A and B are shown apart, each in its own frame.
Chain A
Amino acid sequence: MNFILDYYNYWIVVFLMMAGFYIVISANNLVKKIVGLNVFQTSVFMLYISMGKVSGGTAPILVDGVTLYSNPLPHVLILTAIVVGVATTSVGLALIVRIKRAYGTVEENEFKNQDDAI
Chain B
Amino acid sequence: MNLWQAVEPSQLISLSILIPFIGALLIVATGKHPNIREAVTLITATVLFSVVLAITDYTFHGVELRLNVAEPIPGLGISFEVEPLGVLFALVASFLWIITSIYAIGYMRGHNEENQTRFFCCFALAISSVMAICFSGNLLTLFIFYEVLTLSTYPLVTHAGNDAAKKGGRVYLGILLSTSIAFLLLAILGTYSLTGTLDFQAGGIFDDSHSKTVLSVLLVLFCYGIGKAAIMPFHRWLPAAMVAPTPVSALLHAVAVVKAGVFSILKVVIYIFGLDELKDLATTDIMLYIGAATILISSCIAMTKDNLKARLAYSTVSQLSYIVVGALLASSIASAGAALHIATHAVGKITLFFCAGAIMVASHKKNISDMVGLGRQMPITMAAFGIGAISIIGLPPMAGTWSKWYLTIGALEADKLFIVATLMISSLLNIAYLLPIPVKAFFNTQSGESKPWTWAETQEAPLPILIALSVTSVGCLALFFYPDPLIDLINLIPGVSTHADMTISLEGEG
* Contact between chain A and chain B defined by CB under 8 Å: no
Measuring CB to CB, which residues of chain B are less than 8 angstroms from any residue of chain A? Answer: none
